[in-house]
Amino acid sequence: MKRVRYSVGMSDEIVHLGASDFDACVAFLNRVFSEDGSLDFAAMLPTIYQPTEEHMGCHLAVRRGGDLAAVVGVFPMTLRMGEAALRLAGIGSVSVDPAHRGEGLMRLLMDRAMAEIRAGGFHLAWLAGQRQRYAYWGFERAGVRQRFTIEKRSLKHLDGATLGAGALEAWRAGGRWSAVDEDDDAWSAIADWRQRRPIRCDRGRDAIDATRWLRAHHHTPRVWLDGEDRPRALVVANESGQGVTEWGASDVDRELAGIAAWVEGGTDEHSAWFDADPLPGRTNRVFSAWADGTSRSDAGNWCVLDWPAVLSASLSARHAADPLPNGEASVQITGFTQAAVGLRIDGDHAQVAEVDGPTALAVDHHAAHRLLFGPVAPAFTADVPAAASALHAWCPLPLWLPRLDYV
């Protein structure tokens, strides 16, 4: 059969999918991402793959001969950091039919996606994927993800000095783990516990939404019940049970007791890892004192579009979590985005504002992500002058997305 060779041009119409495209879109993604058909996007991302206009309308697509040839999803989210609510565009499901690869369809859809994101007033965009592939659209690996690994055998050394007396007592009081269904009484407690997380995405408050979110990427939510079957803590773990990406409780003692109980529940050779947010706080300090292993990596690919808004949210959240030393620094950002921002800590106040005139430091858009948000220290990205030396003490500023919100 003669294969028709297309080239990207005026004839390629980019459309937003609709509810009626649900089956075709999921089948297309399953095929493109797994040749053996082992992936099921509807099961993996039950929050995003729902047959409604709203959900499917997030997908940009090109059809060839009536069939889907390429898809890119742009999923609007609200990322809360302390008091601030940032509009985040998550990009996912970037896919081209193998029969149409190398013809520029991904570029066509990514160009459109970024144009829509800019026009839509998003503060920042995020995606998971190859660093160099997406650098062309302004993305850079940045942010901090801390992973703490705890071995079951280390529990016997755990004492009140490390865990805290209240947490140790709560753990020793015991309990049992139970899976949670959407009609479980635990859901309202779980929704309230989430409000305590300093960095989180909005996920709706009803139990069906909550169930979908906590099951994303093949995770399972479980609650730790006390002797009277009252929910005391939540742990959300991956399929093997070893990777814990989210947890919660009404206070830090119960949170830590739940974490110890989860490690205890594994086999003797078992170790569990916990992905933590990058803000200083008691849980992270306990992890740091207790974990058998600690690793730190970037938190995905980010593209900041509104520097004053994102830096203000991040600097304020960091300062609120644990006060930073007074100081100021100004940075000019050039290239994909342009901005000149001044950052200042003065007592209780964290301020970020656009500035006129010369700045202490100038970096390009990609370097600005690494300089300010890590994962490495600022000196690994730029020669930081004395006039901006406060950055050494303040950075990496927090930038992170919970694993269950990955798209």
Ligand X SMILES: CC(C)(COP(=O)(O)OP(=O)(O)OC[C@H]1O[C@@H](n2cnc3c(N)ncnc32)[C@H](O)[C@@H]1OP(=O)(O)O)[C@@H](O)C(=O)NCCC(=O)NCCS
Sites of contact with ligand X (CB under 6 A)? 32-33, 94-96, 101-107, 129-130, 133, 136
- The nearer residue to ligand X, 99 or 289, going by C-beta atoms, is 99
User: Shortest approach of ligand X to residue 384 CB, angstroms?
Assistant: 30
- The nearer residue to ligand X, 94 or 352, going by C-beta atoms, is 94
- The nearer residue to ligand X, 96 or 113, going by C-beta atoms, is 96
Distance CA 306, CA 311 (A): 9
User: Shortest approach of ligand X to residue 33 CB, angstroms?
Assistant: 5
User: Shortest approach of ligand X to residue 136 CB, angstroms?
Assistant: 4
User: Shortest approach of ligand X to residue 371 CB, angstroms?
Assistant: 23
- For the stretch 389-394, contacts whose Cβ atoms lie closer than 8 Å and that sit 24 or more positions apart, written own/partner, are 389/327, 389/329, 390/325, 390/327, 390/328, 390/329, 390/343, 390/345, 391/329, 391/361, 393/324, 393/325, 393/327, 394/315, 394/318, 394/324, 394/327, 394/329, 394/343, 394/345
- The nearer residue to ligand X, 51 or 104, going by C-beta atoms, is 104
10-43: string of b/e by CB count within 10 Å (b at 16+)? eebebeebbeebbeebbebbbbbbeeeeeebbbe
User: Shortest approach of ligand X to residue 162 CB, angstroms?
Assistant: 40
- The nearer residue to ligand X, 92 or 374, going by C-beta atoms, is 92
- The nearer residue to ligand X, 129 or 358, going by C-beta atoms, is 129
Q: Are strands 220-225 and 339-346 parallel, antiparallel or unpaired?
A: unpaired
**What are the beta bridge partners of residue 89?**
76, 125
User: Shortest approach of ligand X to residue 147 CB, angstroms?
Assistant: 21
User: Shortest approach of ligand X to residue 315 CB, angstroms?
Assistant: 30
99 Cβ neighbours under 8 A, 6+ residues apart: 3, 69
Q: What is the chain's length?
A: 407
- The nearer residue to ligand X, 125 or 276, going by C-beta atoms, is 125
Q: Which residue is nearest to ligand X (CB)?
A: 129
- The nearer residue to ligand X, 101 or 196, going by C-beta atoms, is 101
Residue 161 phi, psi dihedral angles, 5° rounding: -65, -35
User: Shortest approach of ligand X to residue 137 CB, angstroms?
Assistant: 8
- The nearer residue to ligand X, 91 or 315, going by C-beta atoms, is 91
User: Shortest approach of ligand X to residue 77 CB, angstroms?
Assistant: 18
User: Shortest approach of ligand X to residue 112 CB, angstroms?
Assistant: 12
- The nearer residue to ligand X, 318 or 403, going by C-beta atoms, is 403
